[in-house]
Amino acid sequence: MRDFADTGRALASSSLVAFVGVCDPDRAKRFYRDTLGLHLVSEELPFALVFDVQGTMLRVTVVPEVKPAKFTVLGWKVPDIQAAVSSLDKEGVEFQRYAGLQQDGLGIWTSPSGARVAWFHDPDGNILSVTQL
């Protein structure tokens, strides 16, 4: 029988699958596929929409009720955050403003480490982000 250390190593070399909950799969498909431009791999309804995000599987899981977390649940590392924010803004994505954070005109915050981050919501209120490191 394997011990927990073996299991940890197995996960370290395994691919990550990301999950986000949504109530309305049609609305989620329009947002994640059409607005964000993600590649829809399959519709496994009534359970999930499956997207490929640069080799990572994103399962947009259909749930009866979404209680959005108060923190980022999905984020993308982008090479040019201003271009990413501008592009998403043209698609109708509204970027969030948070009290206490010094955000620029596009809604981009520069962290103490120098990383630049902007946040937005999906149609179910899940917090998503783009980050330039």
- The CATH class of 68-133 is alpha beta
11 — phi, psi (to 5°)?
-70, -35
* The two domains 1-67 and 68-133 share their CATH topology (first three levels equal): yes
Average the pLDDT over 46-72 and give the result: 97
Q: What is the mean pLDDT of the chain?
A: 94
Burial 68-99 (b: 16+ CB within 10 A, else e): eeeeeebeeebeebeebbeebeeeebebeeee
Average the pLDDT over 61-71 and give the result: 97
Calpha distance 77→25 (Å, rounded): 25
Per-residue pLDDT reduced to its tens digit, 99-133: 999 999 999 999 999 999 999 999 999 999 999 99
Calpha distance 82→117 (Å, rounded): 10
DSSP state of 29: H
Three-state DSSP state, 118: strand
Pick among 3.10.180.10, 3.40.50.1820, 3.40.190.290, 3.20.20.220: CATH of 1-67: 3.10.180.10
Q: Where are the domains of the chain?
A: 1-67, 68-133
Instruction: Name the pTM for this structure.
Output: 0.90
